[in-house]
Amino acid sequence: MENRSSQTLYGTHIMLSLRSRVTTIVATVAALFFLLVAAGLAFVYSGMYDVSASSKDNPIMAKLLHDTYEASMHRHARSDVAPGDLLSFENIRSGAKMYDSSCALCHGAPDRPLSLIGQGIQPAAPSLLSASRRNKPELMFWTIKHGVNMTAMPSFGKTQSDQAIWQVAAFIYAERGISKDKYEQLVHRNAQVDNTGVALTGPKLEPGKK
């Protein structure tokens, strides 16, 4: 009887000790969570973080936001399928005209000084016609149509048709590294090739290339 009583007491002690440890762990986690929330709120409402466009973002914050943007873009653009005639000359030319009127102000054009608005954007808008860009049409279509929150990139889907947006996506994909002469011809002239001999046809779409 004494052995059984001792075993029972020992078992009870173990259970109480285990319960006490679990309670301590839960209380510690809850306290840390509360402290993190309190610290976060204190930081937010302190005004310490500089949100002005005249200052560069903290590099860690900038990377976190950019990685979030890229992951979101790839996830939500999965359902967008480019038209079969995406890289037709008419689509590229129409896209060039819309790019010049609506995009070049912030994203630039060949051998043209960036506008005052473009210079003031932070983070800076990417140079979409750079030869080093990939500009996968589906990703560009999604970004142009829906915009990007908390940047200067608006949602053109509110004012433009899907066709017009696909045309811009076609232009910035096909004409990466475009010259000033070719850009001016696409934007301001109607002939496919003029007397300077600058061809205005774009490359074939490369499946899977981002």
pLDDT of residue 192: 53
Residues 23-27: what's their mean pLDDT? 88
Tokens standing for residue 172? 């910035």
Q: Give the CATH architecture of domain 62-188.
A: Orthogonal Bundle (1.10)
Residues 178-205: what's their mean pLDDT? 67
Mean per-residue pLDDT of the chain: 87
Tens-place pLDDT, residues 124-176: 999 999 999 999 999 999 999 999 998 999 999 999 999 999 999 999 999 99
Whether the per-residue pLDDT at 203 is higher than 70: the answer is no
Q: What is the pTM of this model?
A: 0.76
CB 165 within 8 A of CB 157: yes
In whole angstroms, what is the distance from residue 186 CA to residue 141 CA? Answer: 20
In whole angstroms, what is the distance from residue 137 CA to residue 171 CA? Answer: 9
Name which residue leads in pLDDT, 26 or 85.
Answer: 85
pLDDT of residue 19: 79
pLDDT range class, residue 196, cuts 50, 70, 90: very low
CA-based nearest residue to 89, from 176, 170, 188: 170
pLDDT of residue 206: 54
DSSP reduced 3-state for 82: coil
In whole angstroms, what is the distance from residue 9 CA to residue 17 CA? Answer: 12
Annotated domain spans of the chain: 1-50, 62-188
Residues 109-133: what's their mean pLDDT? 94
What is residue 109's DSSP assignment? Answer: B
Residues 6-24: what's their mean pLDDT? 72
CB 110 within 8 A of CB 129: yes
Helices (H), the chain: 2-46, 59-76, 89-102, 104-107, 116-120, 137-146, 162-174, 180-188
What is residue 103's DSSP assignment? Answer: T
Taking CA atoms, 79 is separated from 66, 75, 139, 174, 176, in Å, by 22, 9, 10, 21, 24
